[in-house]
Amino acid sequence: MTTLHSKIIGKGSPLLILHGFLGMSDNWKTLGGQYAEAGFEVHLIDQRNHGKSFWSDDFDYDLLAEDLKAYMEAHHLDRAAIIGHSMGGKTAMQFACSYPELTDRILIADIAPKFYPPHHQAIIDGLNALRLETMTSRNEADAALGQYITDFGTRQFLLKNLYWVEKGQLGFRFNLKVLSQKMNEIGENINPTDMYNGPTLFLRGDKSEYIMPNDLTEIKKHFPQAELQTIDRAGHWLHAENPKQFFEKSLAFLKG
């Protein structure tokens, strides 16, 4: 198996950070730097089919957890704390349940252990409609994507994945073909009988509907030690929308 791509900064206790669907490690660069300054060896990781990591036709949370185990072995990490946002949070949950001996603690950002029906179809349709082979600039791609996605912030997040494959040829860092086919797998829950009994913090955005108050019962079933806290003035992108409060709450948990 090919090892996941990462950027490693800082020295201290290992902290692995996992981005969400269609994201990449670079999304966490600023917060990653703050954790490094706070005394952690921060591993900003690209998950398979994302960023600069390998592409594969196979994609589910058991495999994503295995990827993380292989990554830890390759980097000689005995145990690590993990932060995972959205899809990355599902990976972190599955990893902690499958490999508790490798897990120091997990922080799950705005995702619950439950099935989420596919809800990114407009984004997938918009990305698949782009004719990158004829486009000559990011602005051109942004204008085309704007016909499907009106929110400027969402478009900028997605277009961070654009890069010049070669002169005159734009491409995406993520594997759009496979991810378009794996929408059900991305929404899947962790395995029904899985449990992790270590320190666990769920952070939700107060404007987000990804974690609802009645999800706490299911959370506690899988993660008996879990706490649920709320980030103010934030939606699903809570770490980007209120980074100061996210950092404060997450650091208190990681240092605890």
Q: Is-contact 120 149, C-beta < 8 A?
A: no
Rounded Cα distance, 187 and 114, in Å: 8
Residue 84 β-bridge partners: 18, 108
Q: For residue 179, give the nearest of 29, 64, 65 by alpha carbon.
A: 64
Q: List the Cα angle 53/59/221 in 5-degree steps.
A: 115
19 annotated active-site: no
**Catalytic status, residue 236:** yes
* Catalytic-role residue among 222, 236, 239, 250: 236
**Which residue type is seen at 49?**
N
Half-sphere exposure of 104 (CA within 13 A, CB side): 16
Query: Which of these is catalytic: 86, 98, 208, 250?
Result: 86
What sign has the CA pseudo-torsion 62, 68, 74, 80? negative
What residues act catalytically?
A: 86, 236
